[in-house]
Amino acid sequence: MSNLSLVITAIAGLSAAIAGCALPAKTRVQAAVAFTWGACIAALVGSLAVLHTGHAMVLNSSRILPLTGVTMVLDPLGAVFVVVTAIVAIASTLYWLGYASHGLSTRTASAALPIFVTSMLLVPAAGSVATFLWLWELMALSSLLLVLVDQRRREETRSAAQWYAVMTHAGASAILFALVMLSAHAGNQTFAAIRIHAVHLPAAVRNTAFLLALVGFGSKAGAVPLHVWLPKAHPEAPSPASALMSGAMVNLGIYGIVLVGDRLLGGGPAWWWLTVTAVGVVSALFGALHAATSTDLKRLLAYSTADNMGLVLIGIGASGLFAATGHPAIAAIAMVSALLLTVNHAAFKGSLFLSAGSVQVATGSRDLDRLGGLMRRMPITGVVFLVGGLAIAALPPLNGFVGEWLLFQSLLHGLPTSSTAVAIAVPVGVAALALTGGLTAAAFVKAIGVGFLGRPRSEGAATAHEVPRTMQLGAALLAGACVVLGVVPMIVLPALERAAAEAVPGAPAHSLRASVELRLAGLQGVLAPALLAAGLALAFVAVIAMRRLAQRRSHLRVALRRAEPWGCGRELQTARMQYTATSFAEPLQQVFDDVLRPDRDLDVSHLAESRYYTEKIAYRTSIGDVIEHNVYRPMIGAVNVWGQWARGLQNGSVHRYLAYGLVVLVVILAVIV
């Protein structure tokens, strides 16, 4: 039965794509969604079986792909990622049912989305290099098609798709080199054979493979400085696709790093993991800072994805570092915390992107400076976004808090150590964790407060009304997962422990004991999320009762009066007098001015009659991505220059072309001989 589930997943996914392509407009989305759900459920069942029993699922076929064959191996580590992808996909496709009337119902899109989902479900189950690369490429191409859906309406979409295409393929080629190098040395392209052979590899090959894999998979995960495609592509994609990309696809970048670093190469020297941790720290801080100062709702969420993936990388780096310095028990806890952060991120980021999509549909804008007052006009979407925002800010009693607590504990308990690398990395990691936590809280107070609360700042926001039921449900499903994972994280922790045991050699069987409380085995660290939640609820009810009692005893004619807000006696109070997202972030922008380097443009035009009188002052400020500006644009400029020069090689003369052919032939003969 268990091997069958992967087959069913593939077949259901393919049927969904065919249905989306072939059926007429009225039914194609519903059919595609139905088949995709079939694929997700099959994958879920199979992975849950793998996680429950701890035995991997193996599937071999040499007939589907010529030359290389298809090998699928689903072990507990991969199963965790499949479960996460499946749940995010179910919620996103449910959302798609309601969203379809807003432009995601073309044949291409209806075929691409199921293919995207299916390939993401099968990537963690790939067991050989060829299978992995085929599925990876399929995932990249289908997501590219989805990003391009809106390209006729918006010009930024085309540019975003170009960046995405180039960077994802550059990453794919790095992954290709790494995996092919490993399989060439092992003589066989299955992961099992590579793992066995890995101990015999020379250090240079191991280091190169790991670094290439870090670059390729890190780019997919959104690690700074390879993240520049993320804030462009994720906002431009339609919302179900954005939710899938941020909630499921970036996780596969993390899966890839753990796959190559821990599973295939079996761990490595401390400097590998210090590099991973350093990349994580920089990503977390950079992403959080840009999220805190961004005024575009979806761009804010995209940078926040880079931030969260940075935290996951800190966990993975800490895990590898502790394993390399001889503490496998703490390494296992750190890996569990990294996986828990990944799972949590999928839940809250998926929910946030879907709600942001609802906001965009209802108001026509994703610019926070034009939103406001949506909590009263879109109550369900508002509450869902609130839950997602509080979860991502790591506030109890939601899931983000449990993940960050676990990461902090693993860093703290990894400290009794003689290694200076660890002694420096841990306080830096904790400081990064803290600063990103604070910046994320500021970013999401801004997003929720400016976007949903107060008074509407534009016509679109004032006339917004709630979106269709399926869209609300899709986002609410993931928000519900945030609450459940926050109060009872024990339902996922045994599975994550099993997955971590795969990744960290020498780990004890149970590093966490989780019943009502979460206990670290052999260490002093306890958390009782359910008790905290119950205590908060009890205190909340008690305080509200106290307030009501006070009101009842006050004998006032009107106990609660609605009035216009106090504006110092001003006669005119408009919605434009409220703080906007730009003004909210302005203190942070001033503090971090050197890192952000905003563009400021001040244009003063004077009256014709006299220069002493100004007619108009226009002030524009925007925060671009420093890395894109200072690293990528010069590189693109250099490539352009080189390209211009190379055009000189093609001057149209047939003689020259024949000469090229002759020279290359001579060189090849010389090399072979």
Partner 1 sequence: MMTIRSILQAIAHPRTVTEDLGPPSQVAADVPRLAGSLQLRHVDAGSCNGCELEITSTFGPVYDAERFGARLVASPRHADALLVTGPVTKNMVGPLVKTFEAMPEPRMVIALGDCARDCGVFRDGYGVEGPVGDVLPVDLQVPGCPPNPEAIVRALRGLTGR
Partner 2 sequence: MNGIGGVIAAALVAGAQIAAVAVGGPLLVGVMRKVRCHIEGRVGPPIHQPLRDLRKLFSKQRMRPDQASWVFGVGPVVLVATAVLIAAISPLATTHPPLGQTADFFAIVFVLLLGSVALALAALDTGTPFGGMGSSRAMTIGALAEPALLVAILAMSIPAHTSNLPALVRIGLAHPQLIASPERFLALGSFLVVILAESGRLPVDNPSTHLELTMIHEAMVLEYAGPDLGLVILGESMRLALLLGLLVNLLAPWGIADRPGAAALVIGLGALVGKVVVAGIVIATFEVFTAKLRLFRLPELLAGAFVLAVVGAFTALVIR
Question: Which residue has 């085929």 as its token pair?
Answer: 134
How far from each other are the two terminal CA atoms of the chain, in whole angstroms? 55
In angstroms and rounded to an integer, the radius of gyration of the C-alpha atoms of the chain is: 27
| Dihedral pair phi/psi, residue 607, rounded to 5° | -70, 150
Query: How far apart are CB 313 and partner 2 at their closest, in Å?
Result: 19
> What residues between 417 and 476 interact with partner 1 by CB under 8 A?
none
**Cβ 242 to partner 2, closest distance in Å?**
25
**Strand, helix or coil for residue 527:** strand
Query: How do strand 57-61 and strand 512-514 relate by DSSP bridges?
Result: unpaired
* Cβ-based nearer residue to partner 2, 416 or 634: 416
- 572 interface partner picked from partner 2, partner 1, none, CB below 5 to 8 A per type: none
Contact indicator for 51, 80 with CB cutoff of 8 Å: yes
**451 is written with which tokens?**
């976007």
Q: Which is nearer to partner 1, 564 or 601 (CB)?
A: 564
Looking only at residues 471 through 530 of this chain, which bind partner 2 when binding is defined by CB under 8 A? Answer: 517, 523-528
Q: Closest approach of Cβ 573 to partner 1, in Å? A: 10
CB 263 within 8 A of CB 195: yes
Shortest separation between residue 563's beta carbon and partner 1, angstroms: 7
Residue with tokens 């993991």: 273
Sole window of 16-24, 291-299, 367-375, 565-573 interacting with partner 1 (rule: CB under 8 A): 565-573
Which partner in partner 2, partner 1, none is near 544 (CB below 5 to 8 A by kind)?
Answer: partner 2
Report residue 660 as tokens.
Answer: 């090229």
User: Could you count the other beta carbons within 10 Å of the beta carbon of residue 118?
Assistant: 30
Name residues contacting partner 1, limited to 535-564 (CB under 8 A): 556-558, 561, 563
Instruction: Using the minimum distance from each CB to partner 2, give the nearer residue, 339 or 402.
Output: 402
Residue 237 beta carbon to partner 1: minimum distance, rounded to whole angstroms: 45
CB of 184 to partner 2, least distance (A): 44
Residue 460 to residue 361: CA distance in whole angstroms: 10
Considering CB under 8 A, how many residues would be counted as binding partner 2? Answer: 89
Shortest Cβ distance from residue 576 to partner 1 (Å)?
A: 20
Q: Are 240 and 104 in contact (CB under 8 A)?
A: yes
What are the angstrom distances between the C-alpha of 609 and each of 216, 602, 612?
Answer: 61, 21, 9
Which residue type is seen at 273? W
Closer residue to partner 2 (CB): 208 or 573: 573
Q: Which of 155, 571, 603, 609 binds partner 1 (CB under 8 A)?
A: 571
* Structure-block tokens of residue 336: 């569990």
For the bound state, the minimum distance from the C-beta of residue 571 to partner 1, rounded and expressed in Å, comes to: 6
Q: How far is the CB of 42 from partner 2 (least distance, A)?
A: 39
Who contacts 347 (Cβ-Cβ below 8 Å, separation ≥6)?
A: 87, 88, 247, 391, 399, 478, 479, 481, 482, 485
- Is 579 or 657 the residue whose CB approaches partner 1 more closely? 579
By CB under 8 A, is residue 584 in contact with partner 2? Answer: yes
The CA distance from 599 to 152, in Å, is: 29
- Interface map 524-553 toward partner 2 (x if CB under 8 A): xxxxx--xx--xx--xx-xxx--x--xx-x
Cβ proximity of 33 and 96 under 8 Å:
yes
Angle at 288 between CA 352 and CA 503, to 5 degrees: 80
Nearest to 227 by CA among 209, 247, 250, 210: 250
One residue of 5, 219, 319, 409 binding partner 2 per CB under 8 A: 409
Q: Identify which of residues 517 and 615 has a Cβ nearer to partner 2 in the complex.
A: 517
Tell which one of 109, 585, 596, 623 touches partner 2 (CB under 8 A): 585
Q: Which is nearer to partner 2, 303 or 452 (CB)?
A: 452
566 binds partner 1 (CB under 8 A): yes
Segment interacting with partner 2 (CB under 8 A) among 12-20, 146-154, 269-277, 434-442: 434-442
* Site for partner 2, residues 266 to 305, rule: CB under 8 A: 292
25 vs 544 by CB, closer to partner 2: 544
In eight-state DSSP terms, residue 429 is: H
Sign of the alpha-carbon dihedral angle for 47, 403, 172, 672? negative
- Choosing from 66, 569, 643, 661, the residue that interacts with partner 1 (CB under 8 A) is 569
**For residue 51, what are the contacts with CB-CB under 8 A and spacing of at least 6?**
76, 79, 80, 83, 495, 498, 499
Nearest to partner 2 of 135, 334 (CB atom): 334
Of 563 and 672, the one with the shorter C-beta distance to partner 1 is 563
**Shortest distance (Å) from residue 564 CB to partner 1:** 8
Q: 620 by DSSP, 3-state: which? A: strand
Closest by CA to 88, choosing from 473, 474, 389, is: 474
Among 79, 264, 362, 390, binds partner 2 (CB under 8 A): 390
Closest approach of Cβ 351 to partner 2, in Å? 18
Cβ distance to partner 1 smaller for residue 69 or 454: 454
575 contact choice in partner 2, partner 1, none (CB below 5 to 8 Å, kind-dependent): partner 2
Residue 625 touches which of partner 1, partner 2, none (Cβ within 5-8 Å per kind): none
Residues 6 or more apart whose CB falls under 8 angstroms from that of 522 comprise 329
Tell which one of 433, 461, 504, 507 touches partner 2 (CB under 8 A).
Answer: 433
* Cβ distance to partner 1 smaller for residue 184 or 556: 556
User: Should residue 594 be labelled a site residue for partner 1 when binding is judged by CB under 8 A?
Assistant: no
Q: Could you give the CA distance from residue 454 to residue 448 in angstroms, rounded to a whole number?
A: 10
Cis upstream peptide for 397 (omega within 30°): yes
- Scan for tokens 């909340």, then name that residue: 540
569 binds, among partner 1, partner 2, none (CB under 5 to 8 A by kind): partner 1
Footprint of partner 1 on this chain (CB under 8 A)?
A: 556-558, 561, 563, 566, 568-571
